[in-house]
Amino acid sequence: MSIFFTCNDKIYKEGTSVISPDNRSLRYGDGLFETLKIYKGILQLGDYHFERLFSGMEMLQFEIQKYFTAAYLENKIAELCKKNQHDLFIRVRLMIFRGNGGLYDPENNFPNYIIQTWSIDGFSGLNSNGLIIDVYPDAKKSCDKFSHLKSNNFLPYIMAALHAKTIKANDCILLNNYDRVCDTTIANIFIIKDEVIYTPALSEGCVAGVMRRFVIEKLTSDFKIIEKPLSIEELQNADEVFLTNSIKGIRWVKQFRDSQYNNIRVKKIHELFIKTIY
């Protein structure tokens, strides 16, 4: 069966060329993306995704036309899902980019977009085998006003993912320029120590994850949670560690270097909050 994608209101068969060599996303990583999950036609945490996306576009000085709204994009996503006959658990990638032009002379600042969809295994249970993680040593994330964006310029994360594969780990941590924990290749990171949950603050350079935000908001009434700088030593001495993203929800970490973790509280968090949205 053919698979299709959408580019600027038109649907194309997979493999069709739509990007020019002058494309600014291709040249400079000039743009943003969102990875979303749909279950039975319902976009999970859609308000959070679109709030982050439009905030990011404003920060990157896109000129957003009146018609270009969250509802408009959601309709385009639904249209493509129908075309691809994807109807249960669906992974969606929405990419926004500025179009063509040089470094100082873009054709315009209007948002262009590409949407892709895939059917996925929607299993929402907590992973039975804990993850093994390590640190990627060869890149550091800066702590600036753009660090929390889901940028098309994703090179440090790509290299960290390749490193994880090389060392046979499930994921790798990116450190910031202060050698503190930032996030992982595809997730935000949380630790639990003495009944308190900690996660790096956005000022530490981590991506402003949608599931991170959801978990923090939901945990506040039942757990003490603190956003703060997080050192490698604190990670090593944690009782439990878990990762969050919008596709997998929560996954518990079994091992970081010589440290081993259980998942007693992570199971409770998963039962209370994550299962409620999938």
CA angle 211, 151, 127 (to 5 degrees): 35
Q: What are φ and ψ of residue 209, in 5° steps? A: -65, 140
In sequence order, the β-bridge partners of residue 113 are 96
CATH 3.20.10.10 in the chain is located at 131-274
Distances (CA, A) of 266 to 68, 191, 225, 259: 39, 10, 13, 17
How is domain 131-274 classified at the CATH fold level?
D-amino Acid Aminotransferase; Chain A, domain 2 (3.20.10)
122 pLDDT more than 80: no
Task: State what percent of residues in the chain have pLDDT above 90.
Answer: 90
The reported pLDDT for the residue numbered 162 is: 98
Q: Which residues of 28-41 are buried (b: 16+ CB within 10 A; e: fewer)?
A: bebbbbbbbbbeee
123 pLDDT more than 70: no
2 pLDDT more than 90: no
Assigned architecture for domain 4-119: 2-Layer Sandwich (3.30)
114 pLDDT more than 90: yes
pTM of the model: 0.95
CATH 3.30.470.10 in the chain is located at 4-119
Predicted confidence band of residue 1 (pLDDT cuts 50, 70, 90): confident
51-88 pLDDT, tens digit each? 999 999 999 999 999 999 999 999 999 999 999 999 88
89 pLDDT more than 80: yes
274 pLDDT more than 80: no
